[in-house]
Amino acid sequence: MSLDPYPRASTALLMIDPLNDFVCERGKLWPYLKEMAEEVNLVANQKRALLGARARGVRVIYVPHRRTEPGDFESFRFLNPTHAASIPIRPFARGEWGGDWHAELAPEPGEIVVYEHWFQSGFANTDLDYQLRQHGVDRIVLTGQRTNACFESTGRYGAELGYHVTLLRDATAAFSREEMQATFVNARTFAHAVCTVDEFLAALEPA
């Protein structure tokens, strides 16, 4: 597809939840993500987006999920299905391997890591909006998982706040094909662009 040029100074690549429990073979959630992740070549594509953005001087911002701790969610008034399912397995446990960054997708010194999100949107209860505005960013390009949860919710919230939202369709994965398809049907109502990593990199202003 043909994309308008992405200015380096006002564009940010969002790395949503590149954590071991999601994207590594020993990860607690990998068995659920595996089929779709392998189909889209998830980690390799996220790495290409990351390295390509860095090489062109585009700001990279990490949007991590809360690292779980004992007792999380158990006293919540309204326990949602995602948190209820998390209690017995404790994905992204704080201080453990599963809650650490994937080695090839980890932040470099100087890159922004925003506050952890408790549920799905990377904007809710975090400093993501503040960081973007302070750095003059008005275009956000999303990678990450899970497609129909944190990835979609962050994109929707970003559009509500007035950002130009791009979804990289080969740099995200869900637990099923139906979940991924649903997000990209829904994207017609909020995303300004849906493209591949290659298409995005080709549209980036040169360094």
**Residue 155 in contact with residue 167, Cβ under 8 Å?**
yes
Percentage of the chain exceeding pLDDT 90: 96
The tokens for 193 are 């662009």
| The pLDDT value given to residue 1 | 62
| The pLDDT value given to residue 206 | 85
pTM of the model: 0.97
The tokens for 180 are 């991924």
Tell me the mean pLDDT in the region 170-181: 98
pLDDT band at residue 9 under the 50/70/90 scheme = very high
Q: Please state, rounded to an integer, the average pLDDT across all residues of the chain.
A: 97
- Give how far the C-alpha of residue 88 lies from the chain's centroid of Cα atoms, to the nearest Å: 24
Q: Which comes out higher in pLDDT, residue 207 or 78?
A: 78
Tell me the mean pLDDT in the region 106-131: 98
Tell me the mean pLDDT in the region 32-38: 98
pLDDT band at residue 74 under the 50/70/90 scheme = confident
* Domain with residues 11-203, CATH architecture: 3-Layer(aba) Sandwich (3.40)
Tell me the mean pLDDT in the region 74-96: 94
Evaluate if residue 23 carries a pLDDT over 90.
yes
Residue 52 sits at φ, ψ, to 5 deg, of: -65, -40
Question: How many CA atoms does the CB half-sphere of 83 hold within 13 Å?
Answer: 18
Domain regions of the chain by residue span: 11-203
